[in-house]
Amino acid sequence: MSGSVTTEVVTIDDVRAAAKRIAGAVRRTPVLRAAPARDRFDFDLTMKLECLQASGSFKARGASNKTALLPAAEKARGLVTASGGNHGLGVAYAAANAGVPATIFLPSSTPASKVEKLKAWGADTRIVGQVWDEANAAALDFARDKGAAYLHPFADAAVIAGQGTIALELAEQAPELDHLIVAIGGGGLISGVAMAARALNPRLEVIGVEPVGAPTLHESCKAGRLVTLDRIATRAGTLAPKRSEQINLDLIRAHVAEIVLVDDDDMQQAAEALWFDFGLAVELSAAAAYAALRAGAFKPPPGAKVGILVCGAGTDGIKA
């Protein structure tokens, strides 16, 4: 796919500006070399631990960047979004830092633990529909009715640039990478990270990972146009929109080499392995990149330098 689109709507300069803008609001998360571990690979694996980010995931980056760019009067009317959980937490975190209210619309599949965490950040939570797309329609209606600032979780240039700041850190922490594996939900994370990472290192190959039961961008890239899925069949709720947006598809087609699929059992086993070997408590979505390696969905050549993003905290991998 790489190289098929030339027009850039988000650039490395946007990402660098975002990094300066959100400095102090987000953490420079650490990297961890995977070896030694129970899983033995014939390549070198580095994990970027965005599960240790403020609010529990990388979403704090994009939400903080977008919020910082809002006019004061618009920001004062409050922030609103729809989320499977993590973006909502990022928006609630950004709103709390800005001293403004946040309203988060959530599908019924959102874990109760994330709803409680949103409330702890001071957000007003509304459960609407079974999937993100239904919750998002309600969030857009709320934004129109109340004049609140709507923060799209993945199809917003400022949000994408904020997520891309991960690549700036990773280029310093692990400059030798040959491959970088990134989970895909709506595509905001991989859009920003892939564009920025390859701007800094054009030889880097970026691989996307989606659930078998929610192959939104996989099918869209295969068709060469946006595809709306008929149904979602995955427990990884933060990787499960029925449709992405053109801004994400364009960036992914330009900068992502391949999208592979993993099933829920692969992600569950990977989440359990991340807990067993590294003490990392992550949700299914955050284990998707590791699952792609363990299940053989992506097979790096022997000796390759491989990076994965462990993108969100959770308890899916913790066995009682």
pLDDT value at 228 more than 80: yes
Q: Is residue 190 part of a domain?
A: yes
The more confidently predicted of residues 5 and 140 is: 140
Query: What's the rounded Cα separation, in Å, for the pair 95 and 122?
Result: 9
Q: Is residue 248 part of a domain?
A: yes
Q: Across the chain, which distance is largest between two alpha carbons, in Å?
A: 56
**pLDDT band of 253, cuts 50, 70, 90:** very high
Q: Is residue 299 part of a domain?
A: yes
Closest CA to 18 of 155, 151, 157: 157
Domain identity same for 241 and 251 = yes
Domain ends where: 150, 173, 203? Answer: 150
For residue 160, the model assigns a pLDDT of 98
**pLDDT band of 7, cuts 50, 70, 90:** very low
Domain identity same for 51 and 182 = yes
For residue 235, the model assigns a pLDDT of 93
Query: What's the rounded Cα separation, in Å, for the pair 43 and 45?
Result: 6
For residue 3, the model assigns a pLDDT of 42
To the nearest whole percent, how much of the chain has pLDDT over 90? 91
**pLDDT band of 238, cuts 50, 70, 90:** confident
For residue 237, the model assigns a pLDDT of 85
Domain identity same for 103 and 169 = no
Domain that holds residue 123: 60-150
Q: Is residue 316 part of a domain?
A: no
Q: Is residue 6 part of a domain?
A: no
Query: What's the rounded Cα separation, in Å, for the pair 276 and 38?
Result: 9
Domain ends where: 105, 129, 150? Answer: 150
**Structural domains counted in the chain:** 2
Which two tokens mark 2? Answer: 């790489």
Query: What's the rounded Cα separation, in Å, for the pair 314 and 253?
Result: 30
For residue 73, the model assigns a pLDDT of 94
Q: Indicate which CATH number applies to the domain containing 168.
A: 3.40.50.1100
Domain ends where: 150, 171, 202? Answer: 150
Mind listing the pLDDT tens digit for each residue in 35-51?
999 999 999 999 999 99
Domain identity same for 267 and 183 = yes
DSSP string, the chain: -TTS----SS-HHHHHHHHHHHBTTB----EEE--SSSS--SSEEEEEEGGGSGGGBTHHHHHHHHHHHS-HHHHHT-EEEE-SSHHHHHHHHHHHHHT--EEEEE-TTS-HHHHHHHHHTT-EEEE-SSSHHHHHHHHHHHHHHH-PEE--SSS-HHHHHHHHHHHHHHHHH-TT-SEEEEE-SSSHHHHHHHHHHHHH-TT-EEEEEEETT--HHHHHHHHTS----S----S-GGG--S---HHHHHHHHHH--EEEEE-HHHHHHHHHHHHHHH---B-TGGGHHHHHHHTTSS-PPTT-EEEEEE-BB-STT---
Which neighbouring-strand residues pair with 289?
none
Domain identity same for 184 and 236 = yes
Q: The pTM is what?
A: 0.94
**What is the CA angle 29-31-34, rounded to 5?**
145
Average confidence (pLDDT) over 226-243: 93
For residue 110, the model assigns a pLDDT of 87
Q: Is residue 5 part of a domain?
A: no
Q: Is residue 317 part of a domain?
A: no
pLDDT value at 1 more than 80: no
- Of 67-71, 129-133, 182-186, 244-248, the least confident: 129-133
